[in-house]
Amino acid sequence: MPTGRSRRSRRSSPTSSASTDRVPIILHGVSASPGIVVGPAHLLRWEVPEVRSRVIEDGEVDAEIARLRAAIEAAVERLRGVKVRAEENAGPAEAAIFDVQVAILQDAELRARVETLVRQNLSAEKAFDLVMLEWREHFGRSTNPMMRERVGDLVDVHIRLLSLLLDLPDHDPVDLEPGSNAILVTHDLTPSLTIQLDRRAIAGIATDAGTRTSHVAILARSLGLPAVVGLIDATSKLQMGDRVILDGSNGTLIPRPTAAVLAQFADRARREQAAQAELATLVGAEAVMTDGTRVTLRANVDLPDEAVRAAESGAEGVGLMRTEFLVVGRTAMPSEDEQEEAYSRVVKAFAGHPVVIRTYDVGGDKLPIGGFPHEPNPFLGWRAIRMCLDEPELFKVQLRALLRAAVHGDVRIMLPLVVSVDEVRQARYLLSEAAAELVRRGIPHRADVPLGVMVETPAAAMSADSFADDVAFFSIGTNDLVQYTLAVDRGNASLVTRYTPLHPAVLRLIARTVEAARVAKLEVSVCGEMASQPLMAFALLGLGIRVLSVSASGIPAVKRLVRGVSATAATAAADAALACATAREAEAVLRAALGEQLGEELLDGLLGLG
């Protein structure tokens, strides 16, 4: 079952509009962040260009070296400009990545090596290409994480200088003027591209790669930018500057639309905005089911900057703060003070409400510290709590920052990717050491912060009862739970129809976790994407979940859902879904039951916004 309104086909198709003189093409992808926008495509091909071998004559060597040096100077100049823009958009610590790239270009050894090859009659571009390939290979194989971390910078420098030497278009998104209303179309959004994004210039994002649960999608929702991901080959179907309609709600991209199609979409956009405006009136309303059952809606916060907006959305606290985004594109881990400041900002924005902060979940598809280690199976590899427990000094910086931020409110600490209670016990030991260090330094903090776990592996769900004495709460991370249960890579755009959260195995694991929490009298919430999709949220309510955490922009639609259904009907529908043999059958059962509760018109409206 496609999740929500994901793709209908992996290929492009003509629209059904009969009133147009030519049949427009629709590119189908995955809805990553809702909203409809129209604007010029800003095509960003951030890939190492192919370099053909070219041999130069002896008499051309000096001129070729001069050309190489001029290109390096131009690239350095460009990077300095990029850094200034990144500082404005993301902050000085993040922008420091560009200093590293300047230093690579100015590295004497690198320049000498390239010039030697030019003196041996290779063209400047071929010489530079060969040396960069060597360096990337060498750094990538290093056992030193600091060296591996540089591979991403080497790739960026590789692309930037070759583009200059080959006279290729410079696609940097930083050149967009505020107000350009551009639709960024790119293969994938890397950390260095992410921090260059100027939200005043970009109205939407479209990527070839990615799925609803991949990080580009999560980031787009955090920024409130309409986005379609998993388009497979949009970058090869569009030209720079093409006018496009990006339909983040239906997961489509329409290049060069006719006037008639534009009018249709303008009409839909107006209706969507009206529906959103209607939902916005629910901000102050309680999330209560028709039979009086109370539900708690919290926000997922990915960037500290969005905390205030999230608090204004009616969220009763933060159910998941992802801290990996603090290390986006950074050259070093954020300091204890810097982290304390970021966490405190969120805690203060939600004064009086719980703020669940997850410890670093890096590795797998997440942002690298120390570069991505070369692992055969990164999703099953050294990541999240595993990495933190193996790097206690790095982990304790974060734990101390969390204990310090806790003096401002109700902070709760959550551990990701846990499979065994041993991991919780080790983390608790490190937490007590972190508290003792703060006592020694005389720094105000709270030592009694609740410690909970994400249930996002089948192991944790199956053995949830064995955690009961050691944790203060469970939060079900369905994005990973689905991936690990079904053995389907959540980030692989070509597997998207096989990523089926309503599979009976997933529903049973959730039911089992809820039961373990009930017996142990522990809070259990859901903070994965299932919570924000109305049909699935209905199933979760039926399975007994009473705390849901979704992106701030998704809260009104989920609240509308909660207020339109009864706990009894949700339970009956979830029981029926649990008894189904397939996700498709479960979806049909839930849809029929939800249609009865809400009426078809409201249901269709909500399914279009989730």
Q: Which stretch binds ligand PEP (CB under 6 A): 83-91, 154-162, 471-479, 491-499?
A: 471-479
Return the residue of 480, 539, 573, 583 that touches ligand PEP, per CB under 6 A: 480
By beta-carbon proximity to ligand PEP, the closer residue of 172 and 361 is 361
Question: Binding mask 70-99 vs ligand PEP (x if CB under 6 A, - otherwise)?
Answer: ------------------------------
Site string for ligand PEP, 390-429 (x = CB under 6 A): ----------------------------------------
Using CB under 6 A as the criterion, what x/- string covers residues 511-550 for binding ligand PEP? ----------------xx----------------------
Catalytic residues: 215, 527
Residue range at the interface with ligand PEP (CB under 6 A); choices 252-260, 436-444, 476-484, 581-589? 476-484
Residue type, 233: D
CB of 263 to Mg ion, least distance (A): 41
Task: Tell me the closest approach of the beta carbon of residue 479 to Mg ion, in angstroms.
Answer: 5
Site string for ligand PEP, 312-351 (x = CB under 6 A): --------x-x-----------------------------
- All residues at 6 or more sequence positions from 416 whose CB lies less than 8 Å from its CB, including other chains: 358, 359, 360, 361, 384, 385, 454, 456, 477
User: Based on C-alpha coordinates, what's the Rg of the chain?
Assistant: 25
Q: Quick one: what does residue 320 bind among ligand PEP, Mg ion, none, with the CB cut-off 5 to 8 Å set by partner type?
A: ligand PEP
**Plot region of 384 (φ>0 → left; ψ -120 to 50 → alpha; else → beta):** left
Contact flag: residue 324 with Mg ion (CB under 5 A): no
Contact between 213 and ligand PEP by CB under 6 A: the answer reads: yes
Task: Show the tokens assigned to 70.
Answer: 């001029």
Q: Report how far residue 120's alpha carbon sits from residue 122's, in angstroms, rounded to the nearest whole number.
A: 6
- Residue with Cβ nearer ligand PEP (126 or 322): 322
How many CB atoms neighbour CB 108 within 10 A? Answer: 7
* Residue 133: both structure tokens together: 């390939």
235, two tokens:
């970058």
Near ligand PEP by CB under 6 A: residue from 477, 491, 534, 556: 477
251 binds ligand PEP per the rule CB under 6 A: no
Please, which contacts does 269-273 make with residues 24 or more away whose CB atoms are closer than 8 Å? 269/36, 269/37, 272/34, 272/35, 272/36, 272/608, 272/609
Q: CA separation (Å) from 82 to 44, 85, 87, 359, 374?
A: 15, 5, 9, 31, 30
Report whether 255 contacts 27 (CB < 8 A).
yes
Per-residue x/- marks for Mg ion, 462-501, CB under 5 A? ---------------x--x---------------------
Binding of residue 478 to ligand PEP (CB under 6 A): yes
248 binds, among Mg ion, ligand PEP, none (CB under 5 to 8 A by kind): none
129 binds Mg ion (CB under 5 A): no
The 8-class DSSP code of residue 3 comes to: S
Question: In what order do the strands lie in the sheet containing 202-207?
Answer: 13-14, 25-28, 252-255, 243-247, 36-44, 182-186, 202-207, 227-229, 30-33
CB atoms closer than 10 angstroms to residue 130:
16
Query: Which residues, numbered 210-269, are part of the site for Mg ion (CB under 5 A)?
Result: none
Bridge partners for 301 per DSSP: 321
Q: Which is nearer to ligand PEP, 225 or 289 (CB)?
A: 225
Q: Alpha helix (H) ranges present in 354-503?
A: 384-390, 392-405, 421-441, 458-462, 478-486
Q: Which residues sit at the interface with ligand PEP, rule CB under 6 A?
A: 213, 320, 322, 361, 456, 477-480, 527-528
Q: Which residues sit at the interface with Mg ion, rule CB under 5 A?
A: 456, 477, 480
